[in-house]
Chain A
Amino acid sequence: MQVVGGINTGLRKVPAWLVYLAGLGWAAYLFWLGLSNQLGPEPINTLERLYGDVAIKLLILGLAVTPLRKWPGLNLMKFRRAIGLTAFGFVLAHFLVFAILDVQTLERVWTEIVKRPYVTIGMAGFLLLIPLAVTSNNLSVRKLGGAGWRKLHKLTYAAALLGAVHYLWLVKGFQIEPVVYTALIVGLLLTRIKWSRARAVFA
Chain B
Amino acid sequence: MAYRWKNDLTQADVTPKSMFLNRRQLMGGAAGLGLAAAAGGARAQGALEPNTLEEIRTYNNFYEFGTGKEDPARNAGGMVIDPWSITVDGLVDNPGEYSLASLLDGLTEEERIYRFRCVEAWSMVVPWNGFELADILAKVGVKPEAKYVAFETTVQPDVMIGVQRRVIPFPYVEGLRLDEAMHPLTMLATGIYGEPMAKQNGAPIRLVVPWKYGFKSIKSIVRISLMEEEPPASWNIINPREYGFYSNVNPTVDHPRWSQASERKIGGGLFATRQDTLMFNGYEAEVASLYEGMDLNEFY
Contact = CB atoms under 8 A, between A and B. Distances in A.
A47 B272 CA distance: 13
B58 A40 contact: yes
B93 interface: no
B270 A115 contact: no
B55 interface: yes
Interface string B268-281: 01111110000000
Contact of B266 (A41, A47, A108, A118): A41
Contact of A111 (B259, B264, B273): B259
Which of A34, A39, A43, A117 has the most B CB atoms < 10 Å from its CB?
Answer: A43
A44 B122 CA distance: 11
Interface stretch (B63-71, B141-149, B150-158, B287-295): B63-71
B167 A41 contact: no
Contact of A174 (B58, B165, B270): B165
B17 interface: no
B59 interface: yes
A103 to B, nearest CB: 8
A183 interface: no
Contacts of A41: 51, 54-55, 58-59, 69, 266-267
A116 to B, nearest CB: 6
Given A42-B266, A101-B271, A112-B259, A175 B67 contact: yes
Q: How large is the interface on A (under 10, 10 to 19, 20 to 34, 35 or more residues)?
A: 20 to 34
Given A34-B270, A41-B59, A174 B168 contact: yes
B69 A42 contact: yes
Contact of A35 (B122, B270, B274): B270
Given A111-B259, A116-B256, A173-B238, A43 B63 contact: no
Given A116-B256, A116-B257, A43 B270 contact: yes
Interface of B: 51, 54-55, 58-59, 63, 67, 69-70, 122, 165-168, 238, 254, 256-259, 262, 264, 266-267, 269-274
13 contacts: A40-B70, A41-B69, A42-B122, A44-B264, A44-B272, A103-B274, A108-B262, A111-B259, A116-B258, A117-B256, A174-B165, A174-B168, A175-B67
Given A104-B274, A174-B165, 7 more contacts: A41-B55, A41-B58, A41-B266, A42-B69, A43-B270, A44-B270, A47-B270
